[in-house]
Each structure stands twice: as C-alpha cells, then as structure tokens.
Copies of this chain bind each other. A is one copy, B any other.
Amino acid sequence: MLKRRHRNTDNSPMPHGTDSLLLQLFTIFVWAKVFGELFERLHLPAVLGEILAGVVLGPYATRFILPGDTIYSIAEIGAVFLLFTIGLETSPADLIRVGRLSLRVAVAGIVLPFALGFLFLRMHHEPTHEAVFIAAAMVATSVGITARVLRDMNVHKSRTAQIIVGAAVFDDILGMLLLGILVSTVSTGGVQWLHLTLVSIKAVGFAVFMIFVAPKVVDRMEPGIQQMQTQDAPLVLALALCLGLSVAATQIGMAAIIGAFFAGLAFADFSPRWNLEPRAQAINQFLAPYFFFTMGSRLDLSVFNRPVVQLAIVLSVIAVLSKILGCGLPLYREGWRSMLQVGVGMTPRGEVALIVALIGLQMNMISQRAYALVIMMTAITTLLPAPFLKMLFAPDSNDPGSGASGGEEAAEVQVSRLG
C-alpha cells in the first residue's frame, strides 16, 4: 500500500508536462538564486552568478537541467519584463533635467566602442554581420554595479555620480535604438541606405514619442484610470502597455524588449504615485532568473579555446578603453580624475549587451563563438571596474570633482558646491 504513494503518471493532476514544468521552474529558480547569493557574498554581480548557474547546470556542461521550450518562452517573457522594469526606473523628466552633458557623455561613449569594436573585428577578419552585432553589444553601459559601489562609498550624490547615472540612462535608450535599427536592418537581409534611414527615423521617432508625448498621454488618462473598477487598474494598464508595445515593436521589425523598455519609460514618472516599481520588480524577481539561467545554458563551452579566450580579452580591453576615452572626452574641462571617474564608472556592460548577443544568436547573425565572446566581454567589463572605482573615488583625492567624503553630509555639501 505504501508503495503506491508515488504519483501515477497516467492520472497526473495536471496535464502532461506541467508537473515537470513546475519542477524545472523550481530547480532553475533555486539554483539561479543560490549562485546569485554566492556571487553577492563575493561582492560580484548576482546576474553573473545566475548566468553561471545556467552554464554549469545546463546542456553544455553537467546536463543537470535541460530547459524545455516553455522555459525558453518564460525566459523571453522575463527579458520583456526585465526591460520594462529598467524602463520604469528611467524617468523622462529626470533625463530632461540632467541634460546635455550626460547626453554628450552617452553619445561619445557609444560611438567610440561601436566604431573601435567594429574596426578591430573587421581587421580580425570576422564577418561583417557578426562584427556589427558584437560591436553593438559593446555599447550599452549597465550602471548597477557602479551605482552600488558609489552608494557603498557614500559618494552617490556627487556630481560625477549624477553624470554617470544620467549618461547610463541615455545609454540604455541609445543602445535600444541601435538594437532596433540593427534588427530591422537585418530583417530586410542587408544594409540598404534608404531602408536604414527610414528605420532610424522610425526608431528615433518611437523614442521621442515615448519620452516626450507618452507621459503626457498617461497623465491625461489618469482621471479615467481612477474611475476604472478593475483592481490595481494602473498596474493592469502598465502591464497591458508593456505587452502591447512589445508586440508593436515586433510588428515594426524591432525586438519586443524595445517596446517593453519604452512602455516602462512612459510610466516611469507615475511609478512612485502608483507604486508601480516594486510591483513590476516582483514580476521581474520571479521571471528574470529564467532569462539569465537560459542565457548561460546557451553558452556552448566547446567553443572555448586559447584563441577565443585571447580574442575575448583583447575585445574587453578595447571595450574598456574605448568607453573610458569616449565618456571621458566630453569632460575634458573637468580634469583627468573626473574624466577617469566617469569613464571607469561607465565601463560595466550588462543586460543590454547580453540581450543583443542573444538576439544575434537567435537570428543566426552570430555564431556560438561570437555569443561566447560577448558573454566573456560582459563578465570582464562588469568585474573589472569595481576596485578602480574605489581608488578613483577614494577620500584622499585632491580633485574637487571626486566627490570624496566621509559621510552623507559632506557629499551633499560637495554637490551644492559643485552643482
């Protein structure tokens, strides 16, 4: 009798596959979070831990977890909500406020890595389409690690810290636009200048509309939203717009995540009032681990050999130097320390780089080898800057732009002095 306690698979209480789906959901979630926690304890970014979990447990290594189709679908939805949440943290009003200096830093910090990356890869005889995708993955800064280091050092209110955060936000938008143009161009099967121009106009128009017009539309809708009887109406509308703009983005030939990002952007200035951010973050907490885990599980370890590792290191050096140079140049009047602070602070790549690589892989635009290159470049540029940032923002600085301070007040005094 006791032996019959095991589940009779023919009479499963869920349709076939759901039990094992729940098991996969559980296992992936727990392992991703365990690796993330370990990385956090080593003062490394949790995201890299979640990716490593996928590498270690996935089909190319231990084969402990072989994600099914549904998991991959959930991972894609996770990417959509990840970008939605990033958008939600990107206030258009703030952007307009931090203004031109951050924008200049962002643009120069995108143009240089893209150009140098592309040139180097072409000189290294990589195919053009692969070079374009890898170079595009080299542009977008992920400022999370920098922000944390600065907050730990209590200099996150310094002027340079504000320039970094502002530029990183513009970076996300510009990176999204570049990806949008890339995906749309590739979909038509090659570079056609008229098409490229049209796509660029479309992408920029989309961005301008979402930054300047959409928030006003949401504002106008507010009385209507408050009259809605549906529970949590603002959240429901935000989710609907997130899904809707994701679909719309794919319809005009861009990646779904671009629509999700701009949907977040449209609601960003209303997020505090409607308490959207912690709730979108909750969906993100649930779904994002599947995205990062499957990202790692797609990494074919057999492509790693000495030339690939060497290439990845050279590429990372180019990514670091071009970012420092590009972001530092617009600040040439502020002294070398400020230039270095902003440049190094802008160095880490992250989610957007990974997504560009993933989309390239899915569109058969880049090989497993190029995918591995981007993941290594992302890991290196993410891990490298933290110690240098600590040096550059250390309190023994003599430079007024350093934001060095022993405490919150000192930092704020400095801001008012400089800002």
Contacts and interface: CB of A to CB of B under 8 A. Distances in A.
Interface stretch (A54-62, A115-123, A184-192, A371-379): A184-192
A252 B188 contact: no
Nearest to A276: B282
Nearest to A69: B70
Interface in A196-245: 198, 228-232, 235-236, 239-240, 243-244
Contact of A187 (B2, B13, B41, B73): B13
Interface stretch (A19-27, A88-96, A169-177, A340-348): A19-27
B256 A13 contact: yes
Interface string A71-86: 0111011001000000
A321 to B, nearest CB: 30
A193 to B, nearest CB: 10
A305 interface: no
A228 B279 CA distance: 21
A282 B242 CA distance: 14
A334 to B, nearest CB: 33
A14 B78 CA distance: 13
Contacts of A231: 46, 285
Contacts of A247: 19, 22-23, 26
Contacts of A72: 15
B235 A13 contact: no
B282 A235 contact: yes
Among A14, A247, A362, chain B packs the most CB atoms within 10 A around the CB of A14
Contacts of A416: none
A56 B188 CA distance: 38
A97 interface: no
Copy total for this chain: 2
A335 interface: no
A95 to B, nearest CB: 24
Interface stretch (A30-38, A312-320, A388-396, A405-413): A30-38
A359 interface: yes
A8 B189 contact: yes
A29 interface: yes
B232 A285 contact: yes
Interface string A276-287: 001111110110
Contacts of A37: 228-230
Contacts of A255: 13-14
A33 B285 contact: no
Nearest to A197: B1
A275 interface: yes
A398 interface: no
Contacts of A364: 11
A40 B230 CA distance: 7
A195 B1 contact: yes
Given A4-B188, A21-B76, 12 more contacts: A8-B189, A13-B253, A13-B359, A15-B72, A18-B256, A19-B250, A23-B247, A30-B240, A41-B229, A46-B230, A275-B278, A279-B282
15 contacts: A5-B198, A7-B251, A13-B253, A13-B254, A17-B73, A18-B256, A19-B250, A21-B73, A29-B239, A33-B236, A40-B229, A69-B70, A278-B279, A279-B282, A279-B285
The 5 A-B pairs with the shortest beta carbon distances in the complex, nearest first, are A40-B229, A279-B282, A26-B243, A8-B187, A13-B255
